[in-house]
Chain A
Amino acid sequence: MGLFSNRKTIFVDSDVLVIGGGMAGCGATYEARYWGRDLNIVCVEKANIERSGAVAQGLYAINCYMGMQWDENQPEDHVRYARNDLMGLVREDLGYDIARHVDSSVHKFEEWGLPFMKDPKTGRYLREGKWQIMIHGESYKPIVAEAARKAATEIYNRIMVTHLLMDKKKKNRVAGAVGFNVRTGDFYVFRGKAVIVGAGGASHIFKPRSTGEGMGRTWYAPWSSASAYALPIQVGAKMTQMENRIVLTRFKDGYGPVGAYFLHLKTYTENVNGEEYESTWYKDTKAMVGDYIDRHPVPTCLRNHAILKEVAAGRGPIRMVTKEAFKDPHLEQVGWENFLGMTIGQAVVWASQNVDPKHTNPELTTSEPYVMGSHATCSGAWASGPEDYAPDEYQWGYNRMMTVDGLFGAGDTIGGTAHKFSSGSFTEGRIAAKAAVRYIQDMGTDEPEVSEEEYENFKAEVFRPLETYKVGRNEIVAGTVSPSYILPLHGLQRLEKIMDEYVGGISSGYMTNDWGLNKGLEHLQMLKEDLEYLGAEDLHQLMRSWELKHRLLASFSVAHHTLFRKETRWPGYYYRGDHMKLDDKNWHCFTLSQYDAKSNEWAMEKAPVYHIID
C-alpha cells in the first residue's frame, strides 16, 4: 500500500443497503422503511440524491402510467406493448408486475406535490400518448429525494461504490459493498444484510457523435457509468439481453426528446425532399424481420431502421415537421417547455443556431448506442419474478433477487423489463425493497459477514490509480503523456473507439459481425490490462477511473452477448452482418451470461421466453 496505507476506513452497518439514489434507489429506500420500521436503511449515492440519476434535470412526462382508475389501460396491455416494441422478447412476468403497481407510485407523486397537467374536460391526467402523462417535472427528482430522505436512516452522498462484498460464510451470498468518498477520500465498508442495486445504466461505452466539448451532451446522462451492471457482474450474477443496446432518434446535437412532438404536438417526420419514407422500406424490412413490421405501434428499432436506410440512400436528413403545429401558440409553448423541463441543452442548441421550429423543420439524428434497462430496451440482471404467478424457471427466491443471494436490483439494473421509465424504475425499487425486507426477516440470525481480507484487498485496488499517478508523474516534465500510466479520459476514448468500430456503433452504421466482435474483445482485454496502469491526479479523477472500469466490464458483457446471439433481432439498434435476419426458430429466447472473475471467463446460455396467452 505504501503511500495510502493511512487512509481512513469507515464502517457502516445496515440492514437494507441501497446503492444509487436515483428513481429506483429512492423508491427502494421509501418502501424499505414502510415495511421495515425498525430496520437500518442506508442509501449510498455517487452524487447528491437531490439531483442525481437520469431524472436530475427533470422530466416533462411520466412515460409509464396505466390509468387503471379510469380504465384507460390494464397491465396486460402494457406487457403486450413492451413485448411488441422489443420484438417479442421481454420478461412478461416482471413487466406485468411493474404495470400493476405503477399507478400507486404515480398517485403518490401527485400527493407529494409534483405538478400534473390535467385534461380540462375530464379532469384526468393529460395524456401525451397511450402510456405517457404530462407533468411540470422540473422538481421531479428533488420531490422524490425528499421522500427518500424522510425514509432513510442515513443517506450517504458523494460516495462511489466500486465493488460488492460477499459473505465469508456462505457461498454466493452478498454481504455489503465498498467505495470511497469523492470529497474526503475516505474508504467506506458498508455491511448490508440485503443489498439493492439501483445504479445507473451506461452512456459513453460507445463513441458519441460529439467528441469534443460536446461529448457530455450524450442523450443518457454522462454520470450513468454502468455501475448497474458492473457491480452484479463482478460477483457472478447472471445478466440478460446485454446485446439489446438502444439507439435513439432525437433532435440533432442536443438529443432533445421527440415523444411530446410525435404524440402531443402531432408532428411527423419526412425526408429531405419532404416525402414520407417508412413505406419505401417496408418490403426490405419485412424480408429481415417478417411480420414484426406489421405490428402497431411499429417497434422503435424498426422506425430507426427506416431512417438509417433512407439516409444511406442519400435522402437525409430526416426532419421533424414542426412548422404546422407551432402555429398554435399553446403547442409552441409545450414544444419549448418540453425541452426546458428535461433537455435544456436542446433549447441552447436551437437558440444558438437560430432554429425556431415555427419557421424551420428541425433535423433529427440517430444517437450512439446506450445500454440500459429502463427505456425501450431491457439489458440487465436476470432476476427472480413475482411469487404469485411467475413460472418456475423465473423464480428461485424473492422478487427481483438476482442469482446471488440477498442481491436485489431495480431500474436500469434489472433486465428483461422494457418501458419502465422513471415511474416504473421507482416502482421496481419499491418491489425489490419489500422483497428485501422479507428476505431479512426470513434470514433470522443467520447474518452475512464481510471478510477483512476481501475489503482490505479492495481498498488497495480502489486507491491504486492515485499512487500510480503520483509515482509516474515524477518521471515526466509536464503534460498528459506518460510511459507509466494512462489517464481516465484516455481509457474512456479507447473504450468508445473499440465499441464503436467493432461492436456496432455509429461509425459502422451499427454493424458488426463475428470477426469484429472477437477482435473487439481482444482489444477490450488489452484495455483491461492497461487499466491496471490508470493514473488519477485527484479524487475526482479517481471517480472517473472507477466509472471507466465499470463501463469496461459492462462493455465486455455487451460484446459477449452480441457475439452469442446469431441473428439480427433489432434492426435499427444493431446489425449482425453475418446473420442479417431475425431468427425466431433459434433465437426466440433470452441470452444469459455469467462472468467468473477468477478465471476471467464468460459462460453463455439461453433461457426460455414465456408469453401471456389470451
Chain B
Amino acid sequence: MPTFVYMTSCDGCGHCVDICPSDIMHIDKTSRRAYNIEPNFCWECYSCVKACPQNAIDCRGYAEFAPMGHSVRALREEDKGTISWKIKFRNGTEKDFVSPIRTTPWGSIKSPSDYDVPGPEALISQELAHEPDALNIKGGLPALERKQLKKGFRKGL
C-alpha cells in the first residue's frame, strides 16, 4: 500500500488529504472516502495516520519487501502531549512505546513581532534574533578573523 484507509471508519473529512507531504491521499469520488492514490510515492511517514480523527488509516508494509501479518499503530494525542505506538510482529511479538511530543501548550509560541524592535545597529551586526542572549555564553557571538582563513591545500588539513 503502504497506508490504506478502512472503508467503515473513514468519514471523508479530508484531514489526511490536507496533511500528506506527498499529496497522495485523495478523496475517492464514488465512496467519498480517502485513499492512497500512489502507494509507490508513500514514505510511510505516518502523517496521515497521525492526523486521522477516526483512526481509519493504517499501514501495510511495502509488498516489495514486507511479508504480511505485521502492524505498527500510532495514536497521537495533542491534548496529552504524547504519541503511543504498538508494534506487532508477523510472529505475534508485541512491543509498546509512549513518547512525549511537546512540553508547551499548542499555539503558545511567541511571534517574533512580540519581542522588542531591534535597533538599526543590530541589523548591521552579525547577531541573529535573540542573540547573544540565546547562545547562553559569555563574551558574545564568536567570530573568526579574516587572517585565520588561508588559501589552498595544506597537508594534514
Do residues B99 and A352 form an inter-chain contact, with CB atoms below 8 A?
no
Within 8 A of A (CB), among B10-25: 18-24
Chain B residues whose CB sits within 8 angstroms of the CB of A543 once the complex forms:
23
Chain B residues whose CB sits within 8 angstroms of the CB of A126 once the complex forms:
none
Do residues B126 and A57 form an inter-chain contact, with CB atoms below 8 A?
no
Q: Which of B39, B59, B106, B156 contacts A213 (CB 8 A)?
A: B39
Chain A residues whose CB sits within 8 angstroms of the CB of B44 once the complex forms:
216-217, 344-345, 348
Residue of B115, B128, B136 most packed against chain A (CB within 10 A): B128
Identify 18 residue pairs between A and B in the complex whose beta-carbon atoms are under 8 Å apart, listed by A's number.
A34-B118, A48-B21, A56-B43, A68-B135, A69-B136, A96-B144, A107-B135, A139-B102, A344-B46, A345-B62, A348-B2, A351-B87, A353-B65, A391-B151, A434-B129, A540-B24, A609-B151, A613-B148
Do residues A430 and B100 form an inter-chain contact, with CB atoms below 8 A?
no
Within 8 A of B (CB), among A334-389: 336-337, 340-341, 344-345, 347-354, 356, 386-389
Chain B residues whose CB sits within 8 angstroms of the CB of A146 once the complex forms:
106-107, 109
A567 at the interface (CB under 8 A from B): no
| Additional A-B contact list (16), CB under 8 Å, known A351-B70, A540-B38 | A50-B19, A51-B19, A76-B144, A136-B99, A136-B101, A150-B112, A216-B22, A222-B22, A222-B41, A344-B72, A348-B44, A351-B71, A352-B67, A389-B149, A611-B154, A613-B154
Roughly how many angstroms separate A352 CA and B103 CA in the complex, as a whole number? 33
A473 at the interface (CB under 8 A from B): no
- Return the chain A residue nearest B157 by Cβ: A611
Roughly how many angstroms separate A31 CA and B47 CA in the complex, as a whole number? 27
Interface SS of B by simple majority: loop
Do residues A101 and B131 form an inter-chain contact, with CB atoms below 8 A?
yes
Chain B residues whose CB sits within 8 angstroms of the CB of A578 once the complex forms:
none
Do residues B64 and A354 form an inter-chain contact, with CB atoms below 8 A?
no
Roughly how many angstroms separate A345 CA and B144 CA in the complex, as a whole number? 43
Within 8 A of A (CB), among B89-132: 89-91, 93, 95, 97, 99-113, 115, 117-118, 123-124, 126, 128-131
Chain B residues whose CB sits within 8 angstroms of the CB of A437 once the complex forms:
123
Roughly how many angstroms separate A349 CA and B2 CA in the complex, as a whole number? 11
Do residues B123 and A438 form an inter-chain contact, with CB atoms below 8 A?
yes
Chain B residues whose CB sits within 8 angstroms of the CB of A12 once the complex forms:
none
Q: Which of B23, B102, B109 contacts A540 (CB 8 A)?
A: B23
Tell whether A353 pairs with B67 under 8 Å between CB atoms, given A113-B103, A336-B97: yes
Chain B residues in contact with chain A, CB under 8 A?
1-2, 18-24, 26, 37-47, 51, 59, 61-72, 74, 76, 83, 85, 87-91, 93, 95, 97, 99-113, 115, 117-118, 123-124, 126, 128-131, 134-137, 141-146, 148-154, 156-157
Roughly how many angstroms separate A51 CA and B41 CA in the complex, as a whole number? 16
Chain A residues whose CB sits within 8 angstroms of the CB of B103 once the complex forms:
113-115
A221 at the interface (CB under 8 A from B): yes
Q: Which of B22, B90, B148 contacts A354 (CB 8 A)?
A: B90
Roughly how many angstroms separate A66 CA and B113 CA in the complex, as a whole number? 28
Roughly how many angstroms separate A100 CA and B134 CA in the complex, as a whole number? 12
Tell whether A108 pairs with B134 under 8 Å between CB atoms, given A51-B47, A216-B39, A354-B93: yes
A37 at the interface (CB under 8 A from B): yes
Do residues B99 and A353 form an inter-chain contact, with CB atoms below 8 A?
no
Interface string of A530-562 (1 = CB under 8 A from B): 000000000010010000000000000000000
Do residues B93 and A57 form an inter-chain contact, with CB atoms below 8 A?
no
A147 at the interface (CB under 8 A from B): yes
Chain A residues whose CB sits within 8 angstroms of the CB of B23 once the complex forms:
46-47, 158, 182, 223, 540, 543
A151 at the interface (CB under 8 A from B): yes
A612 at the interface (CB under 8 A from B): yes
Roughly how many angstroms separate A213 CA and B59 CA in the complex, as a whole number? 13
Q: Which of A57, A182, A354 contacts B45 (CB 8 A)?
A: A57
